[in-house]
Every structure is written in C-alpha cells, then in structure tokens.
C-alpha cells in the first residue's frame, strides 16, 4: 500500500519535472515548479525527513516560487 | 526495492532531466528552473541512498537542509543577474559567442 | 539534432546512475551509529540539529556566510531603486495579513525552541519569519527595501557574527566549534537564535531587495 503511494509520488515528481521544463507558457512553468516543490516536501515526509520537508515547503516551494513569479512579472512588464 | 532506493532512482532521473534542461534551454528563467530540478534530484539521491532498511540517517539530512537554503540563495542571485541583464539589454538569453 | 543528442546522453547518464545506485556499496560507513553514540554529548536531543550545529557546525557557519555573500552581491549588482509607489491594496487582504503575522512570529519562536528535541530549528524558523515579511510586502503593508539601514545590516550579519564569536571563543579551549558538553545546549540555542533572526532577514531581503525593481519605469 505504501509502496504504491511511493511509486505514484515518484511518477508525479518526474511528470511535474518534465512538464515544468517543457510547458509553453512561462507562468505555467513556474506554477508547475511550485507544485513540484510541494511534491518534493511529500517525498521528504515519506523518507522520514520531516526537517527537510518543512524547509522544502517553506523555502523550496514558497520563497523560490515567490522570487520566480516576481522576476517573471518584472521581465514581462519591462518588455517593450 | 525500498522507498529509499525508489526515491534515489527518481532523483537520478530528475538530475538527468535537469541537466538536459540546463544544456538545451536558452531562456534564463527556464534554465534556473532546470537548475533547481537538478538540485532536487541530487538531494533525493543523497537522502534516499543513505536510508537503507528504512532507518533515516541524520547526516545527509542535515547536509540537504543546508543545501536547500544555499540553493535558494543561488536562485535569488541568478534571478538578480537575469533581471540586470534584461534591464541593460532587453534580452532574456545569454549572448552567443561570435566566432 | 542537438536536442536528440543531449536527450539520449542524459537518458544514458540516468540509466548508468541508477545502475550504480542499485549496486550495494562495499564496506559502506554507517554514520548513524557514530551519531547515535555521541548524542549524549551534543547538548540537544534531535539528531539532525546535533549534526547541523554541533558535529558539522562548520558547514552551517559557512552556509550563513554564503547567504550573507549572496545578499551583498545582489546589493552590489545595483538594481536601480525605483520610485516607491504603493501597491493596489485590498483592505481584506491587509487585515488578514495583520492577523496572520503575530501567529507566524510565535510559530517561528516555537520552531526554534522545538529544534532541540524534535523536527524544527533555525532554518525553518527563519523561513517562517521571511514568509511573514514577504506576506506583508505583497499586501502592501511593508514597502520594499530601497537600501539597507544600519540596523538591518547589523541584523543580517548578527547570526554570522554570533556564530563566529562562539566558534573562536571555543578555539581557546582547544578546537574550533568543540562545545563543552555541559554548556553545549545553551550555546547552540544562542547560535540558533542569532541564525533565526539573520536567516529571516536575509531570506526576506532576497525578495524585498529584488522586488524594489518593479520593471515598469519605462
């Protein structure tokens, strides 16, 4: 049962990673990256590493996502 | 196959995916995304491989915790450079070498 | 063509890497036993915190230095300070952010204190503090930082300076960062408190210094 969940989680990680790098629109790519970070936090929980899970959810998904979206907005607004 | 090895293999795939992305993608923001995917793969290998028989090892966990914080600093620095490049030249790709 | 080449190269790399991962390591060193046997002398009860701040404290010292360096480079890179225009502020979001901030600070202090004996610690606490600052900024309550005031500079370097002071203070007793077991818990809490404040300010600074350049001045 838990192995089935692990396989599903691993497949979702790879799928969101592939989509994040291949999707056409940049804003979707960034949102997919945030989803990827949250899936990583789940993987850390499954690997019995709650410390990393906490940090990944707050920093890897939250702060990195905010930084990327802010940069995307700035690049888009400045475009002539 | 234990869940540690399963996630280590996932990490290997993510690392290769990110590596291909860093080489192939020219858009700097997307390249930063690929770099982060690559880093996540390396972290998964570190923690997953050390966890055999489902008993966690605190040493790689502490290393990865440090790594995540350093990765966000590197991402912010790369974004600052990208924004600077865009402000100066209007480009979001690095200029090609003139042969 | 290049796409195909790099793609197949990465695929071969991944297959070989997975093959190498599945091979059992000959004579692997099990660090878990080494950590478990020294836990009593570490001053804390949570093994990850013990590794981060005691057994491998050197890594953490260098990490906070790297973060400080990243902020300095971002400031030196010189994004042009933009005219600070207030964002379109939604009063409901603002009052929610006002309500959320005090509990976030309490959560950060709890995580810092809990790090001694359960998952938590300076990194997570600092991340929560930074998230509170970013939330206040996004709701228009906190303007982006144009240039660092003196108190902000001291706040961002405090964690590194306290850590360095503790590390060199211990040098007098024999070795860098070898805590005496009796005072280890107190010293680690002191270092972690400094790290929390500095990490919170640095991580918030990464966002607030970058976002002072809204990109639409032209």
C46-75 tens-digit pLDDT: 888 888 888 888 889 999 999 999 999 988
Higher-pLDDT residue of C78 and A59 is A59
Q: DSSP secondary structure string, chain A?
A: -HHHHHHHHHHHHHHHHHHHHH-SSHHHHHHHHHHHHHHHHHHHHHTT-HHHHHHIIIIIIIIHHHHHHHHHHHHHHH--
CA C200, C82, B93 angle in degrees (round to 5)? 85
Find chain B residues with C-beta within 8 A of A68's C-beta. 29, 32-33, 75, 79
Note the pLDDT of residue B90: 82
Domain count, chain C: 1
Selected for mutation to probe chain B from A5, A27, A71 (highest B CB count within 10 Å) is: A71
Contact A64 B36 (CB under 8 A): yes
- Is the pLDDT at C86 greater than 60? The verdict is no
Contacts for C103-109: CB closer than 8 Å, 24+ residues apart: C104/C128, C104/C129, C104/C131, C104/C132, C104/C135, C105/C129, C105/C132, C108/C132, C108/C196, C108/C200
- Is the pLDDT at B54 greater than 80? The verdict is no
What DSSP designation does C116 have? Answer: T
Whether C25 is covered by a domain: the verdict is: yes
Tell me if B50 sits within 8 A of B34, measured CB to CB.
no
CA distance linking residue C169 with residue C191, whole number of Å? 13
Whether C217 is covered by a domain: the verdict is: no
- Tell me which residue range forms the domain holding C34: 2-210
A10-27 tens-digit pLDDT: 999 999 999 999 998 999
Q: Tell me whether residue B74 is exposed, middle or buried, using C-beta atoms within 10 angstroms of its C-beta: 0 to 12, 13 to 18, 19 or more.
A: middle
Give all domains of chain B, ordered by start, each with its CATH number.
Answer: 3-89 (1.10.287.3510)
Lowest mean pLDDT among C105-109, C141-145, C156-160, C211-215: C211-215
Higher-pLDDT residue of C134 and C181 is C134
Question: Average per-residue pLDDT in chain C?
Answer: 84
Whether C215 is covered by a domain: the verdict is: no
Question: What does the domain layout of chain A look like in residue ranges?
Answer: 2-78
């Amino acid at each position: 049962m838990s192995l089935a969940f692990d396989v599903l989680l691993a497949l979702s990680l790879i799928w969101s990673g592939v989509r994040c790098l291949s999707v056409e629109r940049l804003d979707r790519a960034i949102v997919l990256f945030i989803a990827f970070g949250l899936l990583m936090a789940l993987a850390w929980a499954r690997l019995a590493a709650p410390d990393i899970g906490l940090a990944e959810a707050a920093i890897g998904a939250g702060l990195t996502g905010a930084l990327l979206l802010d940069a995307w907005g700035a690049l888009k607004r400045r475009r002539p | 196959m234990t869940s540690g090895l399963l996630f280590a293999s996932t990490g290997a795939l993510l690392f290769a995916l990110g590596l291909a992305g860093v080489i192939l993608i020219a858009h700097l923001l997307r390249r930063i995304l690929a770099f982060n995917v690559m880093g996540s793969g390396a972290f998964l290998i570190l923690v997953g491989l050390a966890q055999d028989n489902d008993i966690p090892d605190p040493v790689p966990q502490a290393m990865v915790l440090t790594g995540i914080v350093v990765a966000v600093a590197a991402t912010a620095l790369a974004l600052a450079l990208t924004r600077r490049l865009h402000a100066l030249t209007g480009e979001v790709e690095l200029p090609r070498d003139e042969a | 063509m290049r796409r195909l080449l790099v793609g197949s190269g990465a695929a071969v790399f991944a297959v070989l890497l997975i093959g190498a991962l599945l091979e059992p390591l000959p004579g692997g060193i099990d660090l878990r036993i080494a950590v478990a046997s020294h836990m009593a002398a570490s001053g804390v009860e949570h093994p990850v915190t013990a590794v981060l701040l005691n057994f491998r404290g050197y890594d953490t010292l260098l990490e906070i230095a790297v973060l400080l360096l990243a902020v300095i480079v971002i400031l030196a890179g010189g994004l042009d300070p933009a005219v600070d225009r207030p964002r379109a502020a939604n009063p409901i979001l603002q009052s929610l952010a006002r309500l959320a901030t005090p509990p976030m600070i309490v959560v950060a202090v709890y995580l810092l204190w809990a790090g001694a004996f359960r998952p938590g610690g300076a990194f997570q606490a600092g991340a929560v503090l930074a998230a509170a600052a970013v939330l206040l900024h996004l709701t228009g309550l906190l303007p982006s930082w144009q240039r660092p005031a003196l108190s902000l500079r001291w706040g961002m370097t405090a964690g590194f300076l306290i850590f360095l002071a503790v590390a060199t203070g211990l040098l007098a007793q024999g070795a860098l960062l070898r805590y005496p077991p009796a005072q280890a818990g107190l010293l680690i809490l002191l270092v972690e408190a400094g790290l929390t404040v500095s990490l919170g300010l640095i991580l918030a600074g990464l966002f607030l210094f970058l976002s002072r350049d809204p990109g639409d001045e032209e």
